[in-house]
Structure 1
Amino acid sequence: MTKPVRSKSVAELFGAPEFGQEGRDRLVRAALELFYAHGFHAVGIDQVLHQAGVTKTTFYKHFESKDDLMVAAVRARDEWESQAWDREVRKRAGDDPRAILLAYFDVLDEWFNAPDFGGCIFINTAAEFPNPNDPVHQVAAEHKRKARDSFRDLAKDAGVRDPEAFADHYTALFEGTLVLRQVHGRNDAARVTRHAVEALLAGG
């Protein structure tokens, strides 16, 4: 009998963010873990301080408020996740732009089937802070804009006729796939939409 393949954890797939041991880094790390697990509104500063093992004096040395800490945490996640995704897709696709655009959905599929999948923190952030003028919403939105721009640049490199239109369509598929998994619970969401990406590339 064939032994079933064990799904990788998120840490096995992407690695883990690296933080230093200084007070600010410990606060950002603790905040990011707690906000991702429980949401921003449900987590108080005292919980962050307890998990980080620092005092309020240390907190106010680095941040004026919880809002500032939230922005720093989401920004740290943005920097780490962008690098982690780029590394993983290039492991599968090398430098071929068309292969990279497909590999994003292969990585999505692995992530969606990780036992500790927790959803997209940037979608979660925008949902908790829907006001587009809110600084933490803006950090999440900027992450999504940068992703869309990277898809456009890959389309240019792949020789797609209209990279801007392609980026809009591809981004709609990418974000829709996240919703299909996160809201509808479809572990196979990336496999379903990958066919649409193949058709989009074939038409480009």
Structure 2
Amino acid sequence: MPAPISEEQRARDREALLDAAEALFYERGVQAVGMDAVREAAGLSLKRIYALFATKEDLVVEVLRRRDRRWRASLTEYVEPREDPRERVLSLFDWLERWFAEPGFRGCAWINAYGELGSASPAVLAEVRSHKRAFHDQIASWVNAATDAPAEPVCLLAEGAIVTASITGDPGAARAGQEAARALIG
């Protein structure tokens, strides 16, 4: 009988699995990636994978949750050091432009997951909505500190820049969004 797996090993396996699944899902799409590909990339058996996540849907939801925490933390770390509230709002678009220019940029992981699974997976839909609500709230807090102008147009500019950059491959979509935001916040 094999020795029980330690909590430390379980945590390492879980992170390896999430790293592999996130990379594959983001690069190829959730539906295009079978669990055998995830197994191979993670270096884990299917039995081990399903002991960590009972279904592929559970794995997708956790990939999105973990990505949300890292993605929004990175944005916050970039924006928050600016003392001028208007510069915080505008720096959002600088951060987006850097993200758009990264090798392998494939747009918004949450929009992509929604496009593939949103109507068929209430759990994925809930996670996508949670991320979008949190992103909106994050932007709104910066806009509200900078101006009396409504935050929603700036949120739409950020979301539009993300979609435009993913379709066109042009990081300059962030610059256009920033100029429009500048006009909105004064």
TM-score class, shorter: 0.7 to 0.9
Match of 1:156 in 2: 144
Question: How far has the Cα of 1:126 moved from its partner?
Answer: 1.5
Label 1:176 to 1:103 Cα distance change in 2 as closer, same or farther (>3 A).
same
Match of 2:6 in 1: none
Secondary structure in 1 matching 2:30: coil
1:101 and 2:89 aligned: yes
Match of 1:84 in 2: 74
Q: Is the 8 A contact 1:132 1:138 kept in 2?
A: no
Q: Is the 8 A contact 2:97 2:174 kept in 1?
A: yes
Secondary structure in 2 matching 1:129: helix
Return the letter of the residue paired with 1:139.
E
Match of 1:191 among 175, 179, 186: 175
Secondary structure in 1 matching 2:118: coil
Determine the C-alpha separation between the residues in 2 that align with 1:59 and 1:111.
30
Match of 2:4 in 1: none
Alignment of 1:1-204 (within 5 A): 22-90=12-80, 94-131=82-119, 134-158=122-146, 160-161=147-148, 166-202=150-186
Q: Larger deviation: 118-127 or 100-109?
A: 118-127
Determine the C-alpha separation between the residues in 1 that align with 2:103 and 2:37.
25
Query: Aligned-residue CA RMSD in angstroms?
Result: 1.9
Secondary structure in 2 matching 1:70: helix
Identity of aligned residues (%): 33
Q: Is the 8 A contact 1:126 1:141 kept in 2?
A: no
Determine the C-alpha separation between the residues in 1 that align with 2:67 and 2:99.
16
Structure 1 unmatched runs, 5+? 1-19
Q: Is the 8 A contact 2:118 2:124 kept in 1?
A: no
Higher helix share: 2
Secondary structure in 2 matching 1:193: helix
**TM-score using structure 1 length:** 0.79
Return the letter of the residue paired with 1:57.
K
Return the letter of the residue paired with 1:101.
V
Label 1:155 to 1:192 Cα distance change in 2 as closer, same or farther (>3 A).
closer
Q: How many residues align?
A: 177
Question: Could you give the per-residue CA deviations for residues 15-50 of structure 1, whole angstroms, max 9, x where no partner exists?
Answer: xxxxx9622221111111110110000001111111
**TM-score using structure 2 length:** 0.87
Label 1:187 to 1:25 Cα distance change in 2 as closer, same or farther (>3 A).
closer
Match of 1:10 in 2: none
